[in-house]
Each structure stands twice: as C-alpha cells, then as structure tokens.
C-alpha cells in the first residue's frame, strides 16, 4: 500500500537525515519506529500519508528492525527522500531547502564555547 494519501503532494526537501545533520530513526511513546524525532508531533500524526507509515511501524509487530524497515511503505519513503522528496509536511517544515532549524553549541568543562554548528 502506497504511503501517498490521495490528492497528496510531494514536497521538495534536502533531507538532513541523509547528510548526518539529523540522526535517523526514533521511537515514539507508542512503540513505533519513525524516520526521525522531528516527525514525532501531534500535528504530523494527523497527516494522512504519515498515518500510513505509522500503521506499519509498531516495533512489537516485527521480529527485527530490519523486517520493519523493509516493508513496502518504508522502502517507498526511503526512495522518496533519496530523490529529495517527501509526502510528509513535517519533512518540509524541518528540511525545506535553505531552512536551518538546529543549532548546537559545544562547551568545554570550564564553560567556554568550543564549537557552534547550525543545520
């Protein structure tokens, strides 16, 4: 079953999960594996396409994570983001081209800033 809900558009994105700027995968409080923690919002959970991915993402339904991420729906999502597309508005919000939403500041034990990164 496709994760694209009817009349749903694909958003153009630059996936931060594919360029090490955002860790891949997270687990929701409901025990679902999701592509990244940024998608774990109540608004995103209402997205019809995202609901289709969630429907096949309950960890307790599988013997292994490999089995889960090799489902048709996860493979489809993987294909989309590797093409710079996503059916999820949450991905557009966080990974739209030119959008920086993440700042990291690294401190030494003495409190001085050792590095700053923006993604």
| Residues binding ligand SF4 (CB under 6 A) | 13, 15-17, 22, 35-36, 38-39, 81, 86, 90-91, 94-95
Structure-token pair, residue 59:
């960890």
Kindly tell me which of 103 and 112 has the beta carbon lying closer to ligand SF4: 103
In the complex, the smallest distance separating the C-beta of residue 26 from ligand SF4, rounded to whole angstroms, is 9
In the complex, the smallest distance separating the C-beta of residue 63 from ligand SF4, rounded to whole angstroms, is 24
In the complex, the smallest distance separating the C-beta of residue 115 from ligand SF4, rounded to whole angstroms, is 21
Nearest Cα residue to 77 out of 109, 22, 35: 35
Strands 113-118, 103-107: parallel, antiparallel or unpaired by DSSP?
A: antiparallel
- Alpha-carbon distance of 67 to 88, in angstroms, equals 22
């Amino acid at each position: 079953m496709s994760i694209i809900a009817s009349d749903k558009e694909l958003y153009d994105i630059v996936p931060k999960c594919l360029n090490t700027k955002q860790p891949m995968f997270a687990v929701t409080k409901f025990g679902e594996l999701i592509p990244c923690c940024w998608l774990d919002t109540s608004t995103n959970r209402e997205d019809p396409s995202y609901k289709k991915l969630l429907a096949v993402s309950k960890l307790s339904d599988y013997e292994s994570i490999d089995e889960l991420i090799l489902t048709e729906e996860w493979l489809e999502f993987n294909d989309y983001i590797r093409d710079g597309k996503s059916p999820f508005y949450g991905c557009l919000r966080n990974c739209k081209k030119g959008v920086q939403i993440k700042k990291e500041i690294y401190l030494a034990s003495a409190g001085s800033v050792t590095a700053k990164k923006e993604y």
